Structure 1
């Protein structure tokens, strides 16, 4: 699924760094400024919520969007990361790209 999401976002004109676990994402977040962290919530080694918390420490301006297939996990994400968008599976890749576009529109409007 990560490959399809990566391809859809690249085709929509976004630069994408893709990794398969949160522990691989942390060094990237520490090295570069990212506009958006898009993460599944359930992952090996470090879940998406823990990754988002780490992201807030090292890159507080980075917006967070979660993907999940579990309703209970979605509720936890909403509670622990209230500003993060949660996109529930299944979804169409077109819907994902629209949500990413909305996230950047919100940022542009906030800076005006």
Structure 2
């Protein structure tokens, strides 16, 4: 079981992903934007940051960069419907960050998270 911080600005997607990850045995804190995610990161450590790339306020790439400064070694996975944006800015993301393009199957998400956490 891992501690996962989910940052997703779409309410229904956030709720859906949080429920699925909890059913897979993880503890999940779900927030609606990058600023709330950073506040959460300063209060408690997590094993994985799962962040949408495009969010208001603080986007997922900048969130991941700051998260890696706050918690060196944090694992990062981006979820996005804008793969080109994620790939263009990937050099700014923490080393080892993965990108999962929407739409994706929940099993694929859970499997990739398991692989990341076991590495």
Task: Report the TM-score when normalising by structure 2.
Answer: 0.84
**Rg larger in structure:** 1
Runs of 4+ in 1 over 4 A off after TM superposition: none
Structure 1 alignment gaps of length 5 or more: 107-112
Question: What stretches of structure 2 of length at least 5 have no aligned partner?
Answer: 1-12
- Alpha-carbon deviations, 1:30-87, whole Å to 9, x = none? 1111000000000011100010011011111211100011132121242222420100
CA distance in 2, matches of 1:49, 1:71: 12
Q: How many residues align?
A: 106
Richer in helix (by share): 1
Aligned residue runs from structure 1 range 1-112, under 5 A: 1-81=13-93, 82-106=95-119
Q: RMSD across aligned C-alpha pairs, in angstroms?
A: 1.0
